[in-house]
Structure 1
Amino acid sequence: MATALINAENTTAVRSAVRIEHVSKSFPDQAGSQLVLDDISLDVAPGEFVTILGASGCGKSTLLNL
């Protein structure tokens, strides 16, 4: 499902199949909370192929599960 956004001049439409804006996630721990994602933003255009790479435990699955 694509979304269309119009810029301030109402002249250009930007299409996104997936949009993530300013996502943060923390998990509770004994010291309070553990911040695992901080201010993540991502735009994926229709038909675009995207890979999320990173070390084990860096938050890839957490981001996708959100």
Structure 2
Amino acid sequence: MTTMATTLAKAAQDTLDTTAHAARIEHVSKSFSGPAGTQLVLDDISLDVAPGEFVTLLGASGCGKSTLLNLVAGLDRPTAGSI
């Protein structure tokens, strides 16, 4: 039984690894430099969005929602990570 469970777990992981993504955000960080120094706005954000999936970003004012969307749209570049 252990071998069967291991085989199923590996097959599930292989499926996850080969699934197409509409968007993939991997370890993205973004900081801005200003007169008061560097401000870290996003820190190590990771997210996979499947084709046809509906995703909502919720958070308080100034938490980085618009910054993340600007990065996904290609209007800005992350300080670290990839999109």
Relative to the length of structure 2, the TM-score reads 0.62
Given residue 26 of structure 1, which amino acid in structure 2 is its aligned partner?
S
Q: Which has the higher contact order (CA 8 A, sep 6+)?
A: 2
Q: Which structure carries more helix by proportion?
A: 2
Coordinate RMSD, CA, aligned: 1.8
Q: Which segments of 5 or more consecutive residues in structure 1 lack a partner in the other structure?
A: 1-8
Q: Which structure carries more strand by proportion?
A: 1
Tell me the percent identity.
Answer: 79
After superposition, what is the alpha-carbon deviation per residue over 1:22-63, rounded to whole angstroms, capped at 9, x for unaligned? 110011123320001001011000111000000011000000
Aligned residues between the structures: 58
In 2, the alpha carbon distance for the partners of 1:21 and 1:58 equals 18
Other-structure match for 2:77: none
Q: Which segments of 5 or more consecutive residues in structure 2 lack a partner in the other structure?
A: 1-10, 72-83
Moved over 6 A (4+): none
Secondary structure at the aligned position of 1:35 is classed as strand
